Amino acid sequence: MRGRGDGGEPSSGAQGDDAGARSGRALVTITSTGDVLCVLACGPVSMEIRSSDAKAAEWLVEGLTPCFALAPRGADWRVCLSSSSESYAAIAAQRPLDAEPRACFALDQEVLAFPAWPIAGGAVVADAERACFLRVTPGRVDLFGDPRTRRWRFTSMWACQEIAATRLRRTELDLHAASVETAGRAVLIVGPKGAGKTTLSLHLLRSGQWRMMANDRAFAGPVAAAIMARGLPTAVKVRPSTLAEFPELRRGLPSVERPYLHTLDELAKAETGDAASEATDFALSPAQLAHQLGVERCGPAALGAIVFPEVRADRTGWTAERLDPEAIVHLLLGNLYGGSRERRGSTVFEDLDGGRSFPSPAVADAIAGSAPGYRVILGRGTYADPRFGERFRDVVVSA
């Protein structure tokens, strides 16, 4: 296995990412009022994060980097996090009874809407399930979270992701895809829910030949003279069948409610007590997933291949069928994150940052022409080969 994603000794090929993380930590500062302050950049957009809750800021930065990079000062957006009980109560008291649902965040095949009401220049969004409110105006998001819960931390990550995605969608495809990297080349594993993306990526990561980019969402498009892939980190929901196949994902973790809402440090110091039921959905943050697998995470990389997996119980072993560019384009456009562009409305972030947009069809053509694409059939016994990760790399990346 490669060095752990929690800052352990890196392997010989990853010195740059680890060194970047060490130098990046110097870019997180504490203001005179005690707020945590840093700037995160993702492609063409950067955002200043200011938080009165130091642990919430640590969790956000830990989850988003290295897909987002810590950067020097100067940002397009400001994201301000508050866990003040007074501020939370004050904005909750402003919620009108007739607040209407408004599209906010893209999920894998839909766009999530929350009750919202207009304010001067923007809107306030109520996420009751995660106990927070978002005040969104051009170039600024203020999140007011209930201090009695960590659940609003997840909404803070959604907000940063949607700010980045709004800009990235102008020039890159927003794909329902896992992404992994080997020897500087990214492989996108594209497909709908249940296609086998997570299981395939976990087996590749477990092999020690690959680094982790993201589990369920990735962007691809032209950057300078190359076609680049970048993962957008999301929490990883682990089904019971996956946990049975990868017991290391839970090994050594304290039994706490919603572990994905804790930092690595918080989990290490947590006391087993408020245990989650075994029936409770189990999920990990991106940093926790890398830590449990003992792998490194990495940022954007040049696109090396595109894989469209298909699980087949009537087959034995695995095969990779090379696809022509036209078939690749069709499959890419059929697996856009948030659903097809025809069905998807604009989010509150798009409305306040130039409107809903998608890249030109030429972007999909450029992606399909830049790297090989494969339909990969995953039959029974596919992962029994201890050298699967190496053989898979040799077929899809080294071709």
Q: According to the 3-state scheme, what is the secondary structure of the chain? A: CCCCCCCCCCCHHHHHHHHHHHHHHCCCEECCCCCEEEEEEECCEEEEEEECCHHHHHHHHHHHCCCCEEECCCCCEEEEEECCHHHHHHHHCCCCCCCEEEEEEECCCCEEEEEEEEECCEEEEEECCCCEEEEEECCEEEEEECCCCCCHHHHHHHHHHHHHHHHHCCCCEEEEEEEEEECCEEEEEECCCCCCHHHHHHHHHHCCCCEEEECCEEEEEEECCEEEEEECCCCEEECHHHHHHCHHHCCCCCCCCCHHHCCHHHHHHCCCCCCCCCCCCEEECHHHHHHHHCCCECCCEEEEEEEEEEEEEEEECEEEEEECHHHHHHHHHCCECCCCCCCCCCCHHHHCCCCCCCCCHHHHHHHHHHCCEEEEEEEECHHHCCCHHHHHHHHHCCC
Looking at residue 276, its pLDDT comes to: 44
| φ and ψ of 362, to 5 deg | -65, -25
Clarify whether residues 220 and 340 are in a common domain.
yes
Q: What is the dihedral of CA 107, 108, 111, 112, to 10 degrees?
A: -40
Residues 148 and 194 grouped into a single domain: no
In this structure, the answer to whether residues 162 and 202 fall within a common structural domain is no
> Which pLDDT does position 3 carry in this prediction?
34
pLDDT, residue 18, reads: 41
Distances from the Cα of 119 to the Cαs of 38, 77, 122, 134, 225, in angstroms?
A: 27, 18, 5, 12, 42
Q: How far apart are CA 338 and CA 316, in angstroms?
A: 33
If asked whether residues 78 and 159 sit together in one domain, one would say yes
Domain assignment present for 277:
no
* pLDDT value at residue 23: 43
Query: Is 227 found in the same domain as 129?
Result: no
Contacts of 100 (CB under 8 A, 6+ apart): 115, 116, 117
- In this structure, the answer to whether residues 111 and 192 fall within a common structural domain is no
Phi and psi, residue 321, nearest 5°: -105, 120
Residues 117 and 157 occupy one common structural domain: yes
Find the CATH number of the domain harbouring 322: 3.40.50
Determine the Cα–Cα distance for residues 2 and 386; give it in Å rounded to an integer: 16
Note whether residue 272 is domain-resident: no
139 Ramachandran zone, left/alpha/beta (phi>0; psi -120 to 50): left
Residues of the chain where predicted confidence (pLDDT) is lower than 70: 1-26, 272-281, 340-344, 399
Residue 29: CB partners within 8 Å, gap ≥ 6?
36, 37, 38
pTM as predicted: 0.89
Same-domain status, 68 and 132: yes
Spatial separation of the C-alpha atoms in residues 240 and 246, rounded to whole Å: 10
For residue 336, give both structure tokens.
């856009």
The answer to whether position 232 is within a domain reads: yes
Q: Which of 137, 167, 197 is the last residue of a domain?
A: 167
Question: Is 178 in contact with 162 (CB distance < 8 Å)?
Answer: no
Is the domain of 159 the same as that of 225?
no
pLDDT attached to residue 14: 34
C-alpha–C-alpha distance, residues 264 and 62, integer Å:
8
Which of the listed residues 150, 167, 184 is the one where a domain comes to its end?
167
Residue 253 lies in a domain: no
User: Do 154 and 179 fall within a single domain?
Assistant: no
Range of the domain at 74: 12-167
Main-chain phi, psi angles of 82, to 5 degrees: -135, 135
**CA dihedral (201, 204, 206, 209) positive or negative:** negative
* Structural domains of the chain, count: 2
Domain presence at residue 40: yes
Of 167, 200, 227, the residue that ends a domain is: 167
Mark whether 234 and 363 lie in a shared domain.
Answer: yes
Per-residue pLDDT, 343? 62
* Residue 262 lies inside a defined structural domain of this protein: no
83 belongs to a structural domain: yes
Q: What is the pLDDT of residues 268-279, one digit of tens each?
A: 998 765 444 444
Q: Are residues 163 and 188 in the same domain?
A: no
Asked if 259 and 284 touch (Cβ cutoff 8 Å), the reply is yes
- Side chain identity at residue 194, one-letter code: G
- Taking CA atoms, 303 is separated from 78, 89, 206, 228, 231, in Å, by 31, 47, 21, 5, 12
End-to-end Cα spacing for the chain: 24
- Evaluate whether residue 288 is within a structural domain: no
